[in-house]
């Protein structure tokens, strides 16, 4: 993560207590056991999100998680920033994510009634060792196809993600996720989804 990007993320009050892990060295070989484990974790997470098993998804998340999707802006070459300071589509911690999931389980979640049909495509996965023991940094590209009802056009969201996965017991948990969308204006009805 670049220093300018890290400074912007530190501005978020919800991110103050999350891991500060940064990547070390080159990406691991695609045949490396740690890379294979992190790649499998991302694929399994995608299936859980597609099936909208959000309570199971919360079990994959660390208590101190920071989940952020800054607002992209189009700037001149050399401006030194690509996101709007202090603005994010999502800026969440474990508590706020759990409240969103709890709402999905009520009759008041009108943005998901009827539920969306989702398909997360995860690719271009690179795994890096980090400067924090037991944590790895994982880059990936995600494409979300979302269809809802019979009359609205489907939505497609393309993004890059930088995750920090933490070893907890025998498995991994998401400790930090930064989502960088590829559009400044999102063309979807709402953001009642997770990337």
93 band by pLDDT with thresholds 50, 70 and 90: very high
Sheet holding 61-72, edge to edge: 23-24, 117-130, 135-147, 155-168, 171-181, 61-72, 83-92
Ranking 15-19, 37-41, 153-157 by mean pLDDT, the lowest is 15-19
Tokens of 136: 């790895």
| CB distance 23 to 128 below 8 Å | yes
Name which residue leads in pLDDT, 193 or 47: 47
What would the mean pLDDT of 27-47 be, rounded to a whole number?
98
Domains of the chain (ranges plus CATH)?
A: 3-181 (3.10.450.50)
90 band by pLDDT with thresholds 50, 70 and 90: confident
Return the number of other C-beta atoms located less than 10 Å from residue 58's C-beta: 15
Dump pLDDT digits (tens) for 142-173: 999 988 767 678 889 999 999 999 999 999 99
Question: Which pTM does this prediction carry?
Answer: 0.86
């Amino acid at each position: 993560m670049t220093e300018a990007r890290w400074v912007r993320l530190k501005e978020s009050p919800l991110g103050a207590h999350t891991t500060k892990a940064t990547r070390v060295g080159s990406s691991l070989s695609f045949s490396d056991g740690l890379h294979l484990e992190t790649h499998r974790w991302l694929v399994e997470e995608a299936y859980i999100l597609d099936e909208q098993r959000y309570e199971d998804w919360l079990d994959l998340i660390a208590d101190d998680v920071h989940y952020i999707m800054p607002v992209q802006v189009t700037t001149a070459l050399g401006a030194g920033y690509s996101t709007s300071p202090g603005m994010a589509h999502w800026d969440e911690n474990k508590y706020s994510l759990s409240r969103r999931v709890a709402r999905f389980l009520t009759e008041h979640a009108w943005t998901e009634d009827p539920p969306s049909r989702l398909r997360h495509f995860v690719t271009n996965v690179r795994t890096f060792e980090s400067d924090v023991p037991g944590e790895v940094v994982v880059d990936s590209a995600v494409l979300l196809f979302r269809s809802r009802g019979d009359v609205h056009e489907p939505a497609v969201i393309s993004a890059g993600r930088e995750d920090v996965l933490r070893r907890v017991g025998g498995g991994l948990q998401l400790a930090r996720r930064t989502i960088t969308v590829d559009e400044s204006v999102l063309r979807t009805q709402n953001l009642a989804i997770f990337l």
